Amino acid sequence: MTFDRLETTLRLRGGHRLHGAVRVHGSKNATLPIMAASLLCDGEVVIKRAPRVTDVSVMEALLESLGARVREHGTNELRISAANLGQTRAPYTLVRKLNASFDLTGALLGRLGRAEVPLPGGCVIGTRATDLHEMGFRALGADVRGARGYLIVEAPDGLRGADVSFRFPSVGATRNVMLAAVYADGTTTLRNVAMEPEVVDLANFLNAAGARISGHGTDTIVIEGVQRLHGVEYEVIGDRIAAGTLLLAGAITRGAVRVDGTDPRHHGALLAALSECGVACSHGVDWIAADAAGARSGTDILTAPFPGFPTDLQPTMTAFLATCPGTSVIEETIFNARFAYVNELVRMGADVRVQMDSNAAVVKGPAELEGAPVEAADIRGGAALVVAGLAARSETEIAGLEFIDRGYERLEEMLTELGAQIQRSSGIVALAEAASAYETSTMPTVG
């Protein structure tokens, strides 16, 4: 018996130097919390440059399930009205697809005084703890408890300003507690907060809607409570992780790539690491560029909260380092299981050894990568496989495209603009025959 299923894959033929310029889409990790924040506004919110990625679609469905109205306008504009918000319980079926949906807790608590949101638990890259979120909500006077996999947070008499110190600068907890504190009575001071550009973008959005937040971008954020937030039109920042992925895609082919629509101040750690490898980096007000013709060595990487090296670029950077001469050590300090993609890289010929006890990977290069059928298991690990495929001698076919589509707006189109031979291909796969079908297939030339 055979079981048929429709599968969409990315097929690419490596070995071509990428060159040219491409504009990156808006930031997923800025758009999602800003969508959650729109629940605090009593007028229409217009979000410009929202990326068309499936995580954003899931958040749209979540907001609608809570009573908000969401309309898409053109390709990258969202219009959200939360005037009729009534529901305080976020449905598990949607939340389980999206860790960022936990940001709804702070927004619902601030707006309606109650939130019931499924606990995120874990995901393929590691544990998703919520103790810092809970500590912050409690400090603001909320009652916090767990029941049947949900976190229930209540403050029927409103929240009051407080002084909150985080033991770790969690991006999610900083956002969530900031959202809740916007309507708190009095002043809230958040210490040891995340300084990520996406946190700053959220604060800028809230201020544009009438909030009184200062200190964002430093380690201490101060929030003066206000009575209401109004509607606002806001354009999100460029996606720094997608921009970095495109730059690394160019670098792994030893090409020269410029990415437009991104703030170079968001890329300090990446540009420093690439320079250490001999990649010539340059930038202007809203672009970054990398010419990898002179790449000569690997380098060591330590992921860390911003302005450190971003954990979300760790897999793609590892793929690039696999092609560089010498030994590179990549230490992951943010998530505790973020090396699952390495098995697939090794199948493509990379020499990478993961040291589980130290949450690090040792890469020995330069490897001559070879194309292979591989499978993405998460967004950024999937991007790393695409980037590796660009340097591989033969054809690579990447399954698990649904993960890549969560965070990149048509990655293959951006890469095609830079000269990559890559295309999306869909077909009915008879599972019993899938292996032999792959062996006999050839990829049509593109670009």
Active site residues: 123
Partnered with residue 258 across adjacent β-strands are 21, 289
Euclidean distance between CA atoms 343 and 431, whole angstroms: 22
Q: How much of the chain is in helix, strand and coil states, percent to nearest 5?
A: 35, 30, 35
Note if the bond before 120 is cis, omega within 30 degrees: no
Select 132 or 140, whichever has its Cβ closest to ligand UD1. Answer: 132
Per-residue string for binding with ligand UD1, 299-318, x by CB under 6 A?
Answer: ------------xx------
Nearer to ligand UD1, 191 or 393 (CB): 191
435 CB-near residues (< 8 Å, 6+ apart): none
Q: Which of 170, 245, 262, 423 binds ligand UD1 (CB under 6 A)?
A: 170
- The residue among 18, 16, 9, 76 whose CA lies nearest residue 417 is 18
Total length of the chain: 447
| Residue found under tokens 């995340």 | 194
Shortest Cβ 106–ligand UD1 spacing (Å): 12
- The residue nearest ligand UD1 at its CB is 172
Q: Which is nearer to ligand UD1, 135 or 208 (CB)?
A: 135
Residues of this chain, 51-110, that bind ligand UD1 according to CB under 6 A: 99-100
The pairing of strands 326-331 and 301-302 is parallel
Residue 294 beta carbon to ligand UD1: minimum distance, rounded to whole angstroms: 30
The footprint of ligand UD1 on residues 13-42 (CB under 6 A) is: 29, 32
Which two structure tokens, joined as six digits, stand for 192?
């040891």
Q: Which stretch binds ligand UD1 (CB under 6 A): 68-76, 81-89, 124-132, 257-265?
A: 124-132
Query: What is the smallest separation between the CB atom of 338 and ligand UD1, expressed in angstroms?
Result: 9
Handedness of CA 47, 51, 54, 55 (dihedral sign): negative
By C-beta, is 192 or 425 nearer to ligand UD1?
192
In this complex, which beta carbon is closest to ligand UD1, that of residue 133 or of residue 266? 133
Question: What are the CA-CA distances from residue 121 to residues 96, 136, 345 (Å)?
Answer: 9, 18, 27
For ligand UD1, the binding residue among 309, 335, 339, 341 (CB under 6 A) is: 335
Using the rule CB under 6 A, is 129 a contact of ligand UD1?
yes
Site for ligand UD1 (CB under 6 A): which residue of 173, 319, 374, 390?
A: 173
Binding footprint of ligand UD1, residue count (CB under 6 A): 23
Residue among 220, 189, 217, 185 at smallest CA distance from 203: 217
Residue 329 engages ligand UD1 in binding (rule: CB under 6 A): no
Task: Give the containing element (helix H, strand E) for 82.
Answer: none
Of 88-96, 127-135, 152-160, 222-230, which part binds ligand UD1 (CB under 6 A)?
A: 127-135
Distances (CA, A) of 285 to 182, 239, 288: 32, 15, 9
Q: What is the DSSP letter of 409?
A: S
Q: Which residues bind ligand UD1 (CB under 6 A)?
A: 29, 32, 99-100, 126-133, 168, 170-173, 196, 198, 311-312, 334-335
